[in-house]
A and B are shown apart, each in its own frame.
Chain A
Amino acid sequence: MYIFQVVALLIALLYYGNAQTSTVAVNHTILGSELSADGLKQLAAIVAPQSPVFHPSRGSYFSLNLLSAFPEDLEVSDYCVELLAIFGQRYSTYVNCLVSAARPVKVCQNCYGSYDNLMDIYTNISSDQMGPGNVSCRDSLLRSDRLMLVFLLYNNLEDIWTGSECNSCVSLGLHSLTNDTLYFMATLNQSLRCFEKFQQGNHSALCKECKATYRGLNELYSRMEKNRTLCIDIEDSMNMTRRLWSKNFNCSFPRAENVPVIAVSSFMLFLPIIFYLSSFLHSEQKKRKLIHPKRAKSNTSLVNIQDRLS
């Protein structure tokens, strides 16, 4: 028994030591590639790289100095570096477009082209097909480290695209806006032109003249809401128009029926009171007949314990 415990302890110590050494290499998560022994030694020797590293002869977009220390089979291939550069360019184009279309929101209309391009290059990078020179860029660019930066960046933008529901406004293949969207935009422009015409002076004229177009716009919007063909552009422009109409021009449909509503509500509140009063006055009260069960005669002749206690 004792010997078994000692042996178990020794084995546990061995495993512990092994675990310690293997944690050194945990940052290095190259999938499927074998690390040569001296490669590991070289990696371990490098403590902290100072800046992003690529070979100077491979294009001037990134600053490079330290990768010359890395062995050949760990480098990213030229082809993949090119793809990465294109990705970067298209990424910043798209983001610039987004920011410039942030308020008022026009991200779907203005930027669907750049998103299409971005999607293309990412699909290219993440595809399974081998590029020239029999290299797959997916592993080396997307999954080589813990951060997975390219993947993260693209996912963020994809989430923004999905969140703005631009797919409802842009045709399949992202070549153009849908017919519904274009029709809505045309109607919207009509209303805005009408507002512009009557903007000066008293707004009552505006309220009267533009009421028809505004109502048409509202109905179109409700229809589109039901069909779920709305994207953030349309929602936002509708919201702005509504605010213009109600707050700036003060044209909200008059709620002249405050009095009837209050009358109806108070009537409904009054009914129960009448009901309870009438049932109190007219219903016969439910009475209970008391039963005195047979009990044994106790020492005193009193049955009620209240009297016994008093």
Chain B
Amino acid sequence: MHPSLLQDSVRGCPKEIPHNEKLLSLKYESLDYDNSENQLFLEEERRMSFLGFKCLEISRWVICGLIGFLTGLIACCIDIAVENLAGVKYYVVKQNIEKFTEVGGLSISLILWAVLNSAFVMVGAVIVAFFEPGAAGSGIPQIKCYLNGVKIPRVVRLKTLVVKVCGVICSVAGGLAVGKEGPMIHSGAVVAAGVSQGRSTSLKKDFKIFEYFRRDTEKRDFVSAGAAAGVSAAFGAPVGGVLFSLEEGASFWNQMLTWRIFFASMISTFTLNFFLSIYNNKPGDLSSPGLINFGRFESDVSVCLLLSSPKPCVISLSTVCLVLNPVFNILNYWLTLFRIRYVHRPCLQVMEAMLVAPLGPDQSEDYPLQLFCADGEYNSMATAFFNTPERSVRSLFHNPPGSYNPLTLSLFTLTYFFLACWTYGLTVSAGVFIPSLLIGAAWGRLFGILLAVWAVPGKYALMGAAAQLGGIVRMTLSLTVIMVEATGNVTYGLPIMLVLLTAKIVGDYFVEGLYDIHIKLQSVPFLHLEAPATSHWLTAREVMGAPVTCFNRIEKVGTIVDVLSNTSTNHNGFPVVMPVAICGLILRSQLIVLLKHKVFVELARSRLTQRKLQLKDFRDAYPRFPPIQSIHVSQDERECMMDLTEFMNPTPYTVPQETSLPRVFKLFRALGLRHLVVVDSENRVVGLVTRKDLARYHLGKHGLEEMQLAQT
């Protein structure tokens, strides 16, 4: 027997271990994606006219358009704010440098610069660490989890959006080695979640529209649209956005949803383009479809040469991927683990961010910097550093051969690599797309310069950027399309795809993608595409949780309240049995609404004039259902009975005990379930399968491994 297990059973107290990535947290629940088809729902459908259904369809389209429009606007605001803030900061520092350089006070200017950067970053870190820790990082791991079906707390709230937008503006203006694309995706998702509900719970305003969409099923679909709109605004890649949502939420998909998501992303990029053109006083120019613009790539012979270049080139390109990409992820993994274990107090997190800031490259406009140079000359290394990363990437792609010194470039690559690795994971809102592109473009260009024979170095820079980004985030399908759309030339599709595939295959051998690492470190019960291979011998009986707390169809209120108030087990779904065979499934949220409205059998008889409970009451309480502690039930009321027949889901999905794990997994994931009841041959409830039960199995180095649950 396993020694620790023996110790536990002897000691009888739970073990405490330092945080690692092989844990699953209890605080993450699944979304209620599966529809509860109780009698109320059937009644509503009966009452709704054909016109009502048509209106619903049209309102879905209207919401998607609105999501796209608002996401584009937010992207526009972020861009303009960053530009202005960075410009102001740079102006102040430049004045200071010009004043003090001659006198010998360059160190003073340096300190001033560091202080300004730290100040911006401090503001950004403070609002994230103290007001909304969920807005830290790029937001893509959280959205990936949300689309997977995990209810990440506070991920799509208005407060998160505000903190995220302000945070990203401060981080970028403060000169950290970060990008604004990841936060854009998160913002798009929050906008979608907010707009589709037709009300703001934080601001306590209800516009009384879109009430039909106030449930997890619809909200999740709209969040996919929001994420796609965010990608589209960030890169000017509408199709890439759609594919991003597809790649992340692939199991629950339908064609109408794809159409609507595409509509949302198109509107998003067009809105951004339109408003940025107006801001730049060139209305109708429409030349900035995304926050990042790679410039115009022409199809020419060099692409053919790239593809047909002899094997050594391609192999050595992949070799560099082999070295750099896993190294980035592994370093960041250790750093994040350290941060979770030791730097967990908010003030420490803010301090850490402030310490990184002065060392980051400045991200202002392309003002050349005369450091240690003759009059009229400018430091080329400084110019490479002191440019916005977007502009640096663009110049790496398009500058004519000979513009960059190989030594400068390699130094820059190395420095920026470690800086970007260090910066990602800080408690600030920041993305990792642009830094990876910049690192990749730099070493790609270096590669091209050293090769110097076939293709223009700029094209190698593009390949390098794709390789590095692909190796870090490991998105294949959507990333290919995003890059193709961002370069504006389909001819580059094949080389980019080959490079991304190589990076993914090589990288997967060593370590996972960056976002997957962070998801694991946050202990989220993420369900992958399939159950781990070689797990067919595991049956539902071993996977399920048992025994299950069930209710009778007519249950005493006191029992219900006691079960719900039991803090040792935080159950959310209860099978309803009558007398032993299963006849339905009821959720905690539904029970709480019933208790709040005091829908008791005794009271119903005496309350003939009062209206019956409708689906609207459940929707009003969604999504923040009150906790059981806030519901007061008197002693008399505890003796009453509650009839669950009308409100329970009469046809929950069930599986027999002998079902294999992959089969259970497939059913669970494809339908987006939250609870799956395991029954025996007489339809009696034997166990309940939830997300945590399924997510703990994964294929490790020594075969099938099990992750442990922990309180976080």
Contacts and interface: CB of A to CB of B under 8 A. Distances in A.
Interface string B521-564: 00000000000000000100110111100000000000000000
A104 B275 CA distance: 44
A243 interface: yes
Contacts of A305: 538, 542, 704-706
A264 B703 contact: no
A283 B102 contact: no
Contact of A271 (B17, B355, B376, B704): B355
B110 interface: yes
B355 A275 contact: yes
B83 interface: no
Contact of B15 (A271, A279, A290): A290
Contact of B541 (A255, A263, A294, A296): A296
Q: Considering residues A253, A291, A298, which has the most beta carbons from chain B within 10 angstroms of its beta carbon? A: A291
Contact of A290 (B1, B107, B546, B710): B710
Nearest to B17: A288
B107 A260 contact: yes
Contact of B710 (A264, A268, A288, A298): A288
Nearest to B705: A306
B342 A279 contact: yes
Interface in B623-668: none
B154 interface: no
A264 to B, nearest CB: 5
A286 B8 contact: no
Interface stretch (A3-11, A21-29, A125-133, A244-252): A244-252
A298 B102 CA distance: 81
B679 to A, nearest CB: 13
Contact of A268 (B8, B17, B348, B359): B359
B705 A302 contact: no
Interface residues of A, number: 50
Nearest to B13: A289
Contacts of B546: 294-296
A293 interface: yes
Contact of B104 (A239, A256, A272, A291): A256
Contacts of A287: 16-19
A255 B686 CA distance: 81
B15 A286 contact: no
A295 B561 CA distance: 24
Chain B at the A interface: SS class: mixed
A266 to B, nearest CB: 11
B344 interface: yes
A31 interface: no
Contacts of A286: 18-19, 340-342, 344
B530 to A, nearest CB: 18
A257 B106 contact: yes
Interface in A274-304: 275-276, 279-280, 283, 285-296, 298, 302-304
Contacts, number: 145
A206 B617 CA distance: 89
B16 to A, nearest CB: 4
A227 interface: no
A306 B686 contact: no
Nearest to B340: A286
Interface in B190-238: none
Interface in B685-711: 686-687, 692-693, 702-706, 708-711
Nearest to B16: A287
B348 A306 contact: no
Contacts of A280: 338, 342
A293 B545 contact: yes
A283 B359 contact: no
B96 interface: no
Given A261-B110, A283-B344, A296-B546, A309 B711 contact: no
Given A285-B341, A288-B712, A242 B14 contact: no
A303 B543 CA distance: 10
Q: Considering residues B26, B107, B111, B704, which has the most beta carbons from chain A within 10 angstroms of its beta carbon? A: B107
Given A238-B376, A264-B110, A271-B355, 7 more contacts: A246-B376, A279-B342, A280-B338, A290-B15, A290-B17, A296-B541, A302-B1
Closest 5 CB pairs of A and B: A246-B374, A260-B107, A242-B376, A288-B710, A296-B546
